[in-house]
Amino acid sequence: MMWRALSADWLKIRGKGLWFLVFLGPVGLIAMQGVNFGLRYDYLRNQYQADLWGGLLRNVSDFVPVALYLGGTLVCSLIANIEHQTSSWKQLLALPVSRTAVFMSKLLICLLLLVVSCLLLSAGTVFLGLLLGFSTQPIPYADVLRIGFASYAAAMPVIVLQLWLSLSSRNQTLPVSLGMTLSLLSLFSVFLSEWIPLSWPSLAWNAENPWLFSGAGLLLGVIVLLPGALHFARKDVA
Amino acid sequence: MKDTVIETRALLKEYRGRAAVKELNLNIRQGEIYGFLGPNGAGKTTTIRMLLGLIKPTSGSIEIFGRELRRNKLQILRKVGSLVESPSYYGHLSALDNLEAIRRILDVPKPRIAEVLDIVSLTGEEKRPVKGFSLGMKQRLGIAAALLGSPELLILDEPTNGLDPSGIQEIRSLIKRLPEEQGITVLVSSHLLSEIEQMAGTVGIIREGQMVYQDTIAHLQEQAAGNLSLAVSEPEAALVTALRRGCGGELQEGRLILPRMSDARVSLLVKELVEDGHAVYRVEEHRQSLEEFFLQVVGGGQS
């Protein structure tokens, strides 16, 4: 049942600027590093000469959490808006499909779009590295994949929360402004305790045990998912 | 007797202590067009949302197709098509894609889309984005979406709201066709009596969340048929005569008020009264329009 809902959602996201957003995030990050490395090429190449790819990845990674939070917020809000706009909830939820399936389908489509973003980020990083002539050193594929996905897993609690808030009310002011605030705060992750989930995407790259934070993110994501799905399944549809 | 399709018992919905729908007992039988009538804010939409499981009743029970709604929601909704208030659509998609998105959830065969487009005569417009549609076309698309799953029960909330006369006419004839051609039971709500009168066989009138009238349209018209008013010299004695003749009737402000009867009976009664020595000053027929009767029923609280 959820697959049927997902296939319907897949159709609905057309022409809503979602795909544009999905491409904008990684392309923007890579372009920023392109400028960074382009302007200070000799200095940075010199600084990272032992591990050129590692240096590039470190520079990209600084902005991955904020991009993930911002992108997640906007994707969730846009997805929710497809149904809010012409109050299609009453039509959708009067169809023979369970509320849980609808909620899970919305979540999956958000997650899927962000997966595409993360893949693009990895691909873009390799592309930029090759463009900068780093091919003299072997490409660290594992780290290249980790750059997006490790932080992504750690950002799960916030993404799930954002989707829940976006789906809950027609008014998107609260979810979007909360998402923006969290994105900005995440820039200061270094000053936050590791017990605060907001800092996990950054720690999932930097910490000594990065997998711990990715795992914790996934776990907490599932925990936030339960009340979200339950609330969505029970609420009155206006 | 035909099967009951929708039956609600003592349905109650409260919003912060204020009852939007109270003690509502709906009874809709198979194959009929049931007109759900009431002024704006009477609780029609609230009731319909409860029937579709969009909102939960505070108390009371809903049975559709003889099964409890809450426990069999998905099986029931599979056989129900609905259009609630303003049309829901995805403006950025074409009519075809709008229906396709619903079709994927309903899991009906693809050719069904062309069928329903044909039923609501939108064939030829299906490739255009829906945001460029007129309200009437959006409404028709909404009905097409409701018909997509070949429902046995169609619930339409104010389907003609905001349409121009020709649009109203079109939707009306469409709705009237459905039970005849496809054996669908239709629940249609409106705040316009004339609307319901022209479509429905049975009517339920709701006021301030309570059902104040539920019967066939024919019976409603009968009730609203009006009465005969006689001004005579000795009303009390005349009443006795009228009652003896089995005409029924009562005294109001010194006049004899009788229910409507045939011309022959009127002439007989008048003849007898004259022969009894009454002076008959006036014989008037007062015809109450259905509209007046409706206002009397829904306005009962205020006047």
pLDDT digits (tens, 9 = 90+) for A12-46: 998 888 999 999 999 999 999 999 999 999 999 99
A interface with B, Cβ–Cβ below 8 Å: 4-5, 7-8, 11-12, 14-16, 82, 85-98, 234, 236-237
Average pLDDT, chain A: 93
Mark yes or no for CB contact B90/A97 under 8 Å: no
- Categorize the per-residue pLDDT at B248 as very low, low, confident or very high, splitting at 50, 70 and 90: confident
Contact A82 B82 (CB under 8 A): no
Give A76 to chain B, closest Cα distance, Å.
17
Q: Are residues B104 and A97, on separate chains, in Cβ contact within 8 Å?
A: no
HEC profile of chain A: CHHHHHHHHHHHCCCCCHHHHHHHHHHHHHHHHHHHHHHCHHHHHHHCCCCHHHHHHHHHHCCHHHHHHHHHHHHHHHHHHHHHHCCCHHHHCCCCCCHHHHHHHHHHHHHHHHHHHHHHHHHHHHHHHHHCCHHHCCCCHHHHHHHHHHHHHHCHHHHHHHHHHHHHCCCCHHHHHHHHHHHHHHCCHHHCCCCCHHHHHHHHHHCCCHHHHHHHHHHHHHHHHHHHHHHHHHCCCC
Is the ipTM, as predicted for this complex, more than 0.90?
no
pLDDT band, very low/low/confident/very high, at A126 (cuts 50, 70, 90): very high
From A16's Cα to the closest Cα of chain B, the distance in A is 8
> What per-residue string of b and e applies to B216-250 under the rule 16 or more CB within 10 Å gives b?
ebeebeeebeebbbbbbeebeebbebbeeeebebe
Contact A90 B91 (CB under 8 A): no
pLDDT digits (tens, 9 = 90+) for A192-225: 888 999 999 999 998 888 999 999 999 999 999 9
Is the minimum CB–CB distance between B15 and chain A shorter than 8 Å?
Answer: no
In chain B, % of residues over pLDDT 70: 97
- Please write the tens of the pLDDT for every residue from B27-65: 999 989 999 998 888 889 999 999 999 999 999 999 999
Contact B81, B52 (CB under 8 A): no
Residue of B nearest to A94 (CA): B52
Which of A1, A16, A91 to probe by mutation at the B interface, max B CB count within 10 Å? A91
- Mean pLDDT of the B133-145 span: 90
Among B82, B90, B139, B143, pick the best mutation site for testing chain A contact (most A Cβ within 10 A).
B90
Q: Which long-range contacts (CB under 8 A, 24 or more apart) does A49-52 make?
A: A51/A137, A52/A129, A52/A132, A52/A134, A52/A136, A52/A137
Report the amino acid identity of residue A139: I
Question: N- to C-terminal Cα distance for chain B?
Answer: 38
pLDDT band at residue A145 under the 50/70/90 scheme = very high
Q: Mean pLDDT across the stretch B236-261?
A: 81
Q: What's the whole-number average pLDDT of chain B?
A: 87
Mutate one of A95, A99, A109 to test the B interface: name it (highest B CB count within 10 A).
A95
The string of pLDDT tens digits covering residues B151-165 is 999 999 988 887 888
